[in-house]
């Protein structure tokens, strides 16, 4: 009896270690994706505000899947999308107000 209990305890411990390794690798991958996403987002912002939303969706969308739609990550995506919408609206209004019309 005692030997079976030790085997079960050892097996349970091995499963816990494997789950820990899986979670650790998943969070490491998640962190790398987030760093890459925000790096790409910053580069796009320096080139102009038009492509930020596309870059954000393509780079963070995959990260959201791997994070199992963690609520904090979704909040970041929604807030960034709202910021993108504000930037696009401001940019569009600024272009309309400050454009020079060459029509006669």
DSSP helix/strand/coil, 1: coil
pLDDT for res 104: 45
- Looking up tokens 């320096």 gives 46
Q: Where do the domains of the chain lie?
A: 2-91
Instruction: Tell me which residues of the chain have a pLDDT lower than 70.
Output: 1-11, 13, 16-17, 19-28, 31, 38, 41-74, 94-104
pLDDT for res 81: 75
Note the pLDDT tens digit of each residue in 45-68. 666 656 666 666 666 666 666 666
Q: Are 66 and 33 spatial neighbours (Cβ–Cβ below 8 Å)? A: yes
pLDDT for res 20: 67
Q: Which of 60, 84, 85 is nearest to 73 (CA)?
A: 60
Task: Compute the chain's Rg from CA coordinates.
Answer: 24
pLDDT for res 79: 79
Q: How deeply is 84 buried, as exposed, middle or buried, from its count of CB atoms within 10 A (0-12, 13-18, 19+)?
A: buried
Q: Are 63 and 33 spatial neighbours (Cβ–Cβ below 8 Å)? A: yes
């Amino acid at each position: 009896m005692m030997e079976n209990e030790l085997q079960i305890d050892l097996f349970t411990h091995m499963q816990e270690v494997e789950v820990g390794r899986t979670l650790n690798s998943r969070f490491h991958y998640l962190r790398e994706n987030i760093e890459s996403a925000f790096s790409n987002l910053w580069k796009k912002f320096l080139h102009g505000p038009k492509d930020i939303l596309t870059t954000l969706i393509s780079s963070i969308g995959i990260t959201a899947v791997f994070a199992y739609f963690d609520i904090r990550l979704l909040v970041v995506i929604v807030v960034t999308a709202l910021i993108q919408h504000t930037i696009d609206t401001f940019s569009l209004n600024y272009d309309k107000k400050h454009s020079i019309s060459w029509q006669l």
